[in-house]
Structure 1
Amino acid sequence: MTRREILSLAEKIGAKKICETHTSWVLLTGRFAYKIKKPVNFGFLDYTSQKKRRRFCLEELRLNRRLSPEIYLDVLGITQDQRFVPKDSPQAIDYAVKMKELPQESLMSSILKKGKVLPSSVKEIARIIADFHNRVRQTKRTERYGSLKIVRFNWEENFSQTKDFIGKTISLSRYQMIKENINRFLSEKKDLFEQRIREKRIKFCHGDLHSGNIFLTDDKPDGKARKVYIFDCIEFNPRFACSDTASEVAFFLMDLEFHNRTDLADYFLDTYLQLTKDFTLLSLLTFYKCYRAYVRGKVSSFKMVEEGIEEKEKADAFKLARRYFLRSERYARSLFGAKKVFIFFGPPGSGKTFLAERFRKRKEGILLATDVLRKDLLSIPVEKHLPAEFGKGIYRKEITRRTYLTMIKRAQVYYAQKVNVLLDGTFANPDYRRLVKRALGSNNLIWIFCWAPKRMILERLKRERKYSDAHPEIYLRMAKRFQSLKDLGKVIRLNTRLKPEDNLRRLELESKGER
């Protein structure tokens, strides 16, 4: 269809808005959205013939119904005089995917920018994706896309296609470092890719799993949680849609980390791992995060040189591309080196959670926190506050014991996949300190004791914090338990009254054995 015909169709159906991308038009009526493919060919995508557009509309409907059948309604035909008819009508000269329209302000990417995505929504996304990955099967058709040959080809294509942007959106040193580390990883870790194929983890996935393709609406019957709709999967090229499930998970995690929400990324990952039991995924996660960040940097770079794009859009694309390539470099630097278990502990209000989360943003791995696990094990929304007296409510002895045993067990399993693990808890009870040493080995542990003057801690505990429900009484009851830490050997002690950057810098140095 031509732009003129699109405008005519939009007028006839009462469309209130037309959204346009380089591959499609989407007509929004307020109730329904109609997506019409442009007759374009980009090599990796070919919609040039009527037959192909019909086929890919039907594929888009079929594939997206795997995750969001409620919003993908039908494929309609479009006549010469711009009317909708059934898809099999001989009058149809083009086609549209008919969808339920959802409010744009419900896009997860928009809610993320406002800082209002809740852990309960992320947990639901993890549940949906875990169920999806558990249901979809690896086939002879899909398994080749997890092979070292295809993975290497995808990277070589990326490097080739971004050469023209060296010195613009990516520096030569960054380009070379990423390329060298990726090639080294592909050479040294061939067995990991083969193992994933043997484990049947190469599947026809969503292919484009990020916050811009997820709606979080408020239409759940109980009104307590947002309804999740995951949409717009890739239908046009199996090389982009078929992949290791680790690559799909990595894309979503990278996106959350890009939005500065490593806490949500870690909660998603921990939930997903427990639902799928796919623990070997961890060994390739940083590699695929690096890949996904690089691709986003490449796509943003392409947008910068598109014809007809406004200067502001070019400037925004330039900034985005540089940020994505910087993130890709960070992942590439984390592919090698010894991994450790970093234990942030101390009394409530000591600042351990704040420092653990800040350190996690610098350190690839996964952070497990007792404040999160405790509620999760009790099926309580993590964001819900439930203050209780010392040793009562959700802080009863048996619940605390279950929380620490679960955290230590998960840390043991995750660390076995050679990733950094960060733990955040008081560890006031020496028994739990002994358990973690026995499970993970003293040589692999870095103990970080966080403390602050009593007056400062009591002031902090008067304010509501993200997930913790501790209050001054709990601190006063627990403080004496930290008077002796001789059972731990070397401990890095951080006074959280000092600037966070100073503490993090010191932690980086001391955890490497430097002073």
Structure 2
Amino acid sequence: MPHLAGDMPPELEAEIIALLEGDVLAGPVRRIDTHGARVFVGQRETLKIKRPVAYSYMNFSTAEKRRRACLREVEINRGNAPELYLGVDRITREPDGTLAINGRGSPVEHAVRLKTFNPEDGFDRIVAREALDGRLAVALGDVVAWAHERAPEAEPNRGRTISEMRVRLVGSAQSRRAVFGESAVKTYAARSAQQLARVEFLLAQRRQAGAVKRCHGDLHLGNIVLWRGAPTLFDAIEFDEDLATIDPMYDLAFLLMDLVHRGQRAAGTLVLNRYLWRLGDAAVGDRTWEMLAALPLLIALRASVRAVVGIDRATDLTGVAKEEAEAEARAYLATANAALTPKRARLVAVGGLSGTGKSTLAGALAPELGAMPGSIHLRSDMERKRLAGVEPETRLGPTGYVPEMTTRTYATLHEKARIALRAGHSVIVDAVFSTTEERADIAALAAAVGVPFVGLWLEAPTEVKRARVAARKGDASDATVDVVDRQITRGVGTMTWHVVDASGDVAATRAQALERVAASDGPTN
């Protein structure tokens, strides 16, 4: 529990609150109190002061510590939200004894000044209203990838290891087992230990190689806002460098966990896949792809953090509010245990001529298969564009489709699929797979790694394919109606994959595909 700091008398805090609730901000002013701050939301701008409290993990017990925290908050958040964070204001004692903002007197406190945004534009509010739009999920993956690319590398041995965090969190869960339930806590402790044993060497190697960075640290949906049409990260941890000095995949895991816990698994799968695509070759070289092996553990740890914090906050509540808070905390621990439940990796290949709906089906299947948040979805069109160094929507000329480029594209699909499968993550690869050799090669990859394989071949009438291709806008595929006609003329040879009728809607095609996948138990289906 926190204690109030002694350097701010209650009457001074009350005076500051009265000032900020007055006319220093264009009104009306709405006040929000959190465990570490008081936020005064005006019509156009917001002022935020640190509360004079001290926790085991956050210490704002002196005016100097609060001043430094305000400066640090602006410093670390301006990189991701330059238009939101305006600076740090001084709250001064004027010669006449009154308080002012940036007056001529001596400062008695400091406040972070931000642009005010509509709370309904927070991603926590957005996902509470509706399923997160695919376009926004893709943009979110981009934004997180860019944030991690520019995040500074950590000093050697800075930050807590995943093993250390797990020990703390298991201890915290065990001390609260009266609320969580003995069985749930035992499951969490045992499964997290098993998962850590699998990946501890990889985590140590990543750390030694300099992968640990100064990240956001608190990357849940409540700290992301849709600002001027784009996802914007804000309110990064400023009070404890070690808490935010972490492997970027642990940072991402908080967001993925939050999406899954709120019933937005499809969005979580989209975010993960776009994040990996956006990082490009660097994510292979620095072993981010191999970190898929650790992702279930990282998601579970993030869920258990929310569970423990939820129990602590419930201690200040009574009645129905207390019961609801404790139930939500137990739900987070259930999410942690679900993430830690072993899932067998499998490889699904989705082939078909242009316009049969390969990418649409693969995207619909991805959230249904494998470990949280869902399968890796590798799309040949996306990898071809990445190899060409262009954005997905940029059309390629003839040189983008010469045999050499196609060979490189399929080689990339194989390489990434192999890494993900060996990490224990299911993979869906969607490409035309128009030749018997291409189909045999992807099946052989599954056999070499030792995972079940199912090949799905999508069929649709010619006019349906032509109409779908003609209607495409802003898509990674460059196929045209002429391409469809040429593919039909060339043929596809002997088909041994499961043929799926893709002439109907996505739901019908998905249902057929899931039946085939569920039946694919052996490594060579």
Into which bin does the TM-score normalised by the smaller protein fall? 0.7 to 0.9
Alignment match, 1:328: 336
Q: 2:5 is matched with which residue?
A: none
Q: 1:478 aligns with which of 483, 487, 505?
A: 487
Distance 1:102 1:155 in 2: 34
Alignment correspondent of 1:421: 427
Give the structure 2 partner of residue 265 of structure 1. 272
The CA deviation string for residues 209-259 of structure 1, in whole angstroms up to 9 with x for no partner, is 2333233433xxxxxxx5554221112234422322331132233344453
Q: CA deviation digits over 1:303-331, x for unaligned, max 9?
A: 555438985x975x567546544432232
Instruction: Give the secondary structure class of the aligned counterpart of 1:343.
Output: strand
3-state SS of paired residue (1:485): coil
Q: Identify which of 108, 127, 133 aligns with 1:115.
A: 133
Shift, 1:184, TM fit: 1.9
Q: In structure 2, what is the Cα distance between the partners aligned to 1:118 and 1:375? A: 21
Give, in whole Å, the separation in 1 of the partners of 2:422 and 2:340: 21
Over 3 Å counting, the alpha-carbon distance change for 1:156 and 1:319 in structure 2 is closer
Decide which of 211, 234, 238 is 2:237's aligned counterpart. 234
Amino acid at match of 1:422: I
Tell me the CA shift for residue 181 of structure 1.
1.0
CA deviation after TM superposition for structure 1 residue 132, in Å: 2.5
CA separation of 1:368 and 1:453: change in aligned 2, threshold 3 A: closer
Q: Output the aligned Cα RMSD.
A: 4.0
Match of 1:222 in 2: none
Taking the aligned partners of 2:484 and 2:326, their CA distance within structure 1 comes to 48
Is the counterpart of residue 201 in structure 1 residue 211 in structure 2? yes
Using the TM superposition, name which of 461-470 and 69-78 deviates more: 461-470
CA contact (8 A) 1:297 1:321 kept: yes
Q: Which residue of 1 aligns with 2:155?
A: 138
- Residue 198 of structure 1 deviates from its aligned partner by 1.8
CA distance in 2, matches of 1:26, 1:5: 12
Q: Does 1:58 align with 2:71?
A: yes
Counterparts in 2 of 1:354 and 1:325: CA distance versus 1, 3 Å: farther
Residue 227 and residue 115 in structure 1: after superposition, are their counterparts in 2 closer, same or farther (change >3 A)? closer
Contact kept? 1:303, 1:314, Cα under 8 Å: no
Residues 26 and 34 in structure 1, CA contact (< 8 A), matched pair in contact too: yes
In structure 2, how many angstroms separate the alpha carbons of the residues matched to 1:514 and 1:304? 51
Matches within 5 A, 1:383-398: 384=393
Find the aligned partners of 1:56 and 1:215 in 2 and give their Cα distance: 22
The letter for the 1-side match of 2:174 is S
Contact 2:154 2:245 (8 Å CA) reproduced: no
Aligned to 1:221: none
Separation of aligned partners in 1, 2:435 and 2:296: 34
1:92 partnered with 2:107: yes
SS state at 2:89 partner = strand
Instruction: Give the drift of 1:102.
Output: 4.0
CA contact (8 A) 1:139 1:203 kept: no
SS of 1:45's equivalent in the other structure is coil
Q: Does 1:363 align with 2:373?
A: no
CA distance in 1, matches of 2:402, 2:136: 26
User: What is the distance in 1 between the residues matched to 2:230 and 2:514?
Assistant: 38
Task: Give the Cα–Cα distance (whole angstroms) in 1 for the partners of residues 149 and 36 of structure 2.
Answer: 30
- How far did residue 474 of structure 1 move? 5.0
C-alpha separation in 1, matches of 2:347 and 2:63: 57
Letter matched to residue 121 of structure 1:
A
Residues 264-303 of structure 1 mapped to structure 2, 5 A cutoff = 264-272=271-279, 274-276=281-283, 277-279=285-287, 280-303=290-313
Aligned partners of 1:299 and 1:505: how far apart in 2?
Answer: 41
Which shows bigger deviation, 343-352 or 284-293? Answer: 343-352
1:449 to 456, 469, 493: 456
Once the two structures are superposed, residues 38-70 of structure 1 have per-residue CA deviations (whole angstroms, 9 ceiling, x without a partner) of 223343223233333223223323333454455
Q: Which amino acid aligns with 2:196?
A: L
Aligned residue for 1:510, secondary structure, equals coil
Distance 1:429 1:30 in 2: 62
CA distance in 2, matches of 1:466, 1:341: 28
Amino acid in structure 2 at the alignment position of 1:137: A
User: Is the alpha carbon distance of 1:409 and 1:30 closer, same or farther for their aligned partners in structure 2, counting shifts above 3 Å?
Assistant: same
Give the residue type in structure 2 aligned to 1:132: R
Deviation per residue, 1:342-387 (Å, 9 max, x gap): 22223345454344334321312422112433445556654x597x
Can you give the 5+ residue segments of structure 2 that lack an aligned partner in the other structure?
A: 1-11
CA–CA separation in structure 1 for the residues paired with 2:365 and 2:172: 30
Q: Which amino acid in structure 2 is aligned with residue 129 of structure 1?
A: A
Task: Work out whether 1:155 is the aligned partner of 2:162.
Answer: no
CA–CA distance in structure 2, aligned partners of residues 269 and 95 of structure 1: 40
- Give percent identity, aligned residues only: 22
Compared CA separation, residues 153 and 199, structure 1 to 2 (3 A): same
- 1:253 matched to 2:262: no
Separation in 2, partners of 1:25, 1:481: 67
Q: Say if 1:111 and 1:117, in contact at 8 Å, map to a contact too.
A: no
Q: Are 1:253 and 1:265, in contact at CA under 8 Å, matched by a contact in 2?
A: yes
